[in-house]
Structure 1
Amino acid sequence: MSDSLAGHPKVTSHAPTFTVRPMLLEDAKEISVLSAQLGYQASSEAIAQRIVQMSSHTGSHAAFVTCMQSMQADEVIGWIEVTIMHELQSPSFALITGLVVNDAYRSQGIGKRLCAEVEAWSREQGVAKIRVTSRIAREDAHRFYLREGFERIKTWAVFEKMLS
């Protein structure tokens, strides 16, 4: 039997290949673009400085990216950041401080894969609990976290004071 129908060659679709790896300094530009999608504007230079700063906290802080492999290069299409919180009033826990997947690649399991990476890293650090905070208006994110097994435990206000 022929691989074509009515004279047209058979088209095979290949699902994109995604990989997860630790964030690198050279990811700064793409991280900056994704951070803007999350609602946080930061230049690639500022992101690069933050990546350097966080690299000195490897046992208590980590960041991972998801890359889509293409013929040209690996494109960063999502990232997640986690830190270990040590508090007097409660046992230590991992806190997801940021998670974003490029708008064009959402609902493909990428956020789930990034969360799994954080879970594995947190276990390696000896932490038994992961928390995440999310703005009240981000209802899609809330549904995602609930699907991933997170439980809503409180609602709070966040206060900030700028130091000059």
Structure 2
Amino acid sequence: MSDSLTDRPDATPRSPSLIVRPVLLEDAQAISELSAQLGYDVSSEAISQRIVQLSSHIGSHAAFVACLKIAGNTEIAGWIEVTLMHELQSCSFALITGLVVSEAHRSLGIGKRLCAEVESWGREQGVTKIRVTSRIAREGAHRFYLREGFERIKTWAVFEKMLS
């Protein structure tokens, strides 16, 4: 087996194939479980509600899952989410707001394939730049993004205020 997976119509039932498609409501449980691998404890019910809410933002938001098919079984091995950002101070861009690949399936080209899907989506939306943020402690993710052609442009401190 090679170190990357692609859509392969000629794949035998035992060899893996990868299909990337838009997120569906029935993907909520798998997305919840994958999110937990990065420390985001969110229920599948909450994910379901968010999928429904975000479905009304077609053209300004998208989410995709990577489905790995092995020996007739299909498993969601990763997901990615992207939104268009419009700011006064800079040109519009696509912002990757989440990317997770299952710990069991990392380093197989799944993250690369998900990023390629976002790049294609971004071009369709008319943007020329994709941005992603990553926690400072996630050095493996930083190496991945640099390998994928992203350039580190700044370091931020993030602040948050809860609204009551």
Confirm or deny a common fold (TM above 0.5).
yes
Q: Distance in 1 between matches of 2:26 and 2:72?
A: 16
Larger of the two Rg values belongs to structure: 1
Q: Distance in 2 between matches of 1:53 and 1:39?
A: 23
Q: Distance in 1 between matches of 2:105 and 2:98?
A: 17
Q: How does 1:34-45 map to 2 (within 5 A)?
A: 34-45=34-45
Q: How does 1:46-61 map to 2 (within 5 A)?
A: 46-61=46-61
Q: CA RMSD in A?
A: 1.4
2:128 maps to amino acid = A
How many residues are treated as equivalent by the alignment? Answer: 153
> Using CA pairs below 8 Å that are at least 6 residues apart, which structure has the higher relative contact order?
2
Aligned counterpart, 1:15: 15
> For structure 2, which runs of at least 5 residues remain unmatched after alignment?
1-11
1:105 maps to amino acid = H
| Aligned-residue identity in percent | 77
Aligned counterpart, 2:103: 103
> For structure 1, which runs of at least 5 residues remain unmatched after alignment?
1-11
Alpha-carbon distance, 1:72 to partner: 5.2
1:126 maps to amino acid = G
Aligned counterpart, 1:8: none
Alpha-carbon distance, 1:70 to partner: 3.4
Aligned counterpart, 1:7: none
Aligned counterpart, 2:124: 124
Aligned counterpart, 1:115: 115
User: What whole-Å deviation, never above 9, does each CA across 1:37-84 have from its counterpart, x for those lacking one?
Assistant: 121110000000000011000110000000011345421110000000
SS in 1 for 2:82: strand
Alpha-carbon distance, 1:14 to partner: 4.3
